[in-house]
A and B are shown apart, each in its own frame.
Chain A
Amino acid sequence: MRVRLPLLPLVSLLLLLTSCATLGEGGASRLDLIKRRAELRCGVSGKIPGFSFLRRDGSFSGLDVDICRAFAAAITGSPDQVQYRPLTAPERFTALRTGEIDLLSRNTTFNLSRDAAGGNGVSFAPVVFHDGQGLLVKRDSGFTNLKSLEGKTICVGSGTTTEQNLNDAFQAKGIDYKPIKYQDLNQVIAGYLQGRCSAMTSDLSQLAAARSGFNDPDQHVILSEVLSKEPLAPLAAGGDQRLTDAMRWVIYALIAAEELGISKENINDKLEEAKNRPELTQLRRFLGLEGDLGEKLGLNNDFVVKIIQATGNYGEIYNRHLGPDSAVPIPRGLNNLYSKGGVLTSPPFQ
């Protein structure tokens, strides 16, 4: 008897390990898993005002967070069925790949290496924020452009495309520089404010957010030179078409709603109007009163209604977190509808 005792924990351990392995190999879509658990696990940053930020009451808020909410509303019917996982930049892809999270909505730049199966092997949704990398300098420092930063030290964060962009931009101009690399943005800010670097670099959105927290925001300027384009998009693990399709059309629904003038306020009126007027086929299809667009995606037909009721359209989300009256105002620029001078447009819901 005494000999068998250590076998028990050993056998249970083995069982645990093998069960993990079989669960991981299942071919089913993660969409079904999210529905079954009635909860979306969404990876966010949690540290970037305007995008995802932990509020005083312990809830998350921001543009990235509203994307999670829209997605949860589309799949589970409720925008509050979300479990947020704050992740650092280096952690995020591993969290996605291991299945720790369903969806990553965390200021992530959409590029080829990340999308391709031979790179990070993830699948991106449409871009939700067109950003670009910039440089923040002190107003009285006399630095006005890249050239003036020749041979200077520049504070940069780790685990992002930022380092590579910085290098490409300086190398293209044949200028030398010295990067001081920290692990996260707060250390970059501390290094910059303490005077270790002549400039700090990050995405414009993050620079604007960081500057809003300084004691003297007016004493710092963002250089007009932009080092890169940084289209930020949500993403899911690769090789799951149903999940990726659902994710893609949730984002398009937000944009299409703005194009059609459907907002959180008038969604119920629009729904009523569509019910009463069978000739409005386009609107009826969009709102799920006609056809089976939602079902084709593996969602309910009224998924667009649920999304708009939860978060409003793209323009409403933007204005809530980054609009002129928000804490982190960023001009809409490229992030406006195509018809208003931006680049946002949605393919038809047909």
Chain B
Amino acid sequence: MKISKRWWLQVIISLGLLTVIGILINNLAVNLIRTGLGLSFDWLWRPAGFALSEHPLPYHPSDSTAWALLMGWLNSLRVIASSIVLATILGVASGAARRSLNPLLRQLAALYVGLVRQIPLLLQLSFWYFVAFLGLPSEPLAPLGAIILLSDHGISLLGISLSVEFAAVLLGLSVFTGASIAEVVRGGLDSVPQGQWEAFRSLGMNEGLGMRRIVLPQALPAILPALSSQYLNLAKNSTLAIAVGYADLYAVSDTTITQTGRAIEGFLLLVISFLLLNLLINGGMQLLNRAVLNR
């Protein structure tokens, strides 16, 4: 009796879900026909007709819209990949610092996590861009000699020049996500029994070595799943880049949608592109996860 009841419930719920999805798709199709617009992707191959402030590959306004969108996608990928690296370094360092024996380090890390997690990302991005970077003088500052040059038009790090827009998004996303990663790391470290810490200390290992060889390997299985959702969040949050003038995928789609009037197609492409980006991240994290668990 019990089994059959559950079985019915499942069928009803699945049927209900399918109906809802079907109705939504039908609505879309009916409305598209009503407004005389079928789905069409021809516009992708027409000249874009707008310039981009930065593009990793050669680009000219007379290139196709598809190529412009690809530049946007690569710009997104570029800022997401570098933010993930920086956020991980920041997060792991401050997460570990919160369990360090040094009280000053512990307090500083707690302050960072507390402060950054309370402030909306959009506000932080605007701060980094409009206050921190655009507040720089137009004549380059060189605090560390030729290693890093700072000005309100761009940043040059070891000869690689970055736009202020890129730098603002990179820092904003990294600092914001770093704080959440710090909490994930702290949670992971707390899942390792206290005895393990006492054991390596009693063997005379120093803190750094013990953390690397004893604690982190045991904490990683708890950290990795939460870490990958932080990475996925970071990727999605990168669309806020448009607020600080960075030509990411969302900003480029936004322009093409208003220029072609193809909102539904534009959003479909946007969804697919982000799905692709996030599947990339997810796939990478799953490989890492498997490697860690099978070790």
* B69 → chain A closest CB, angstroms: 14
**CB atoms of A17 and B245 under 8 A apart:** no
Interface size on B, as a range, is: 35 or more
A114 to B263, CA, bound (A): 13
Per-residue contact bits, chain A 172-188, to B (CB 8 Å; 1 contact, 0 not) = 00000111111100010
Contact of A167 among B16, B26, B61, B130 (CB under 8 A): B61
Interface locus among A20-28, A295-303, A309-317: A20-28
Contacts of A191 in B (CB 8 A): 130, 134, 245
Using a Cβ–Cβ cut-off of 8 Å, how many residues does chain A contribute to the interface with B? 53
Contacts of B164 in A (CB 8 A): 196
A1 to B204, CA, bound (A): 66
**CB atoms of A3 and B245 under 8 A apart:** no
**CB atoms of B35 and A238 under 8 A apart:** yes
Q: Which of A21, A89, A113, A177 has the most CB of B within 10 A?
A: A21
Interface locus among B180-188, B230-238, B250-258, B270-278: B250-258
**CB atoms of A171 and B61 under 8 A apart:** yes
Q: A158-B242, A158-B254, A158-B258 are in contact. Are A153 and B53 (CB under 8 A)?
A: yes
Contacts of B258 in A (CB 8 A): 89-90, 93, 158-160
**CB atoms of B53 and A196 under 8 A apart:** no
Which residues of A (147-165) have their CB < 8 Å from a CB of B?
A: 153, 155, 158-161, 163-164
Contacts of A179 in B (CB 8 A): 50-53
Contact of A113 among B12, B52, B53, B261 (CB under 8 A): B261
* B139 → chain A closest CB, angstroms: 12
Whether A117 is near chain B, meaning CB under 8 Å from some CB there, is: yes
* A7 → chain B closest CB, angstroms: 7
Which residues of B (10-34) have their CB < 8 Å from a CB of A?
A: 12-13, 16, 19-20, 23-24, 26-27, 30-31, 34
**CB atoms of A196 and B245 under 8 A apart:** yes
Contacts of B16 in A (CB 8 A): 10, 14
**CB atoms of B254 and A24 under 8 A apart:** no
Contact of B152 among A18, A121, A195 (CB under 8 A): A195
Whether A276 is near chain B, meaning CB under 8 Å from some CB there, is: no
A182 to B280, CA, bound (A): 28
* A211 → chain B closest CB, angstroms: 19
Per-residue contact bits, chain B 238-249, to A (CB 8 Å; 1 contact, 0 not) = 000011110100
**CB atoms of B31 and A24 under 8 A apart:** yes
**CB atoms of B243 and A94 under 8 A apart:** no
Contacts of B53 in A (CB 8 A): 153, 178-181
- Which A residue's beta carbon lies closest to that of B135? A194
* A243 → chain B closest CB, angstroms: 15
Whether A270 is near chain B, meaning CB under 8 Å from some CB there, is: no
Can you list 13 A-B contacts (CB < 8 A)?
A: A6-B13, A21-B30, A24-B34, A90-B254, A93-B261, A113-B259, A158-B242, A166-B51, A167-B61, A180-B53, A183-B243, A194-B152, A195-B134
A residues engaging B (CB < 8 A)? 2-3, 6-7, 10, 13-14, 17-18, 20-21, 24-25, 89-90, 93-94, 97, 113-114, 117-121, 153, 155, 158-161, 163-164, 166-168, 170-171, 177-183, 187, 190-191, 194-196, 238-239
Additional pairs, 15, CB under 8 Å, beyond known A6-B13, A160-B258: A6-B12, A10-B12, A94-B263, A120-B261, A158-B258, A164-B49, A166-B51, A177-B51, A179-B53, A180-B53, A181-B245, A183-B242, A191-B134, A196-B245, A239-B36
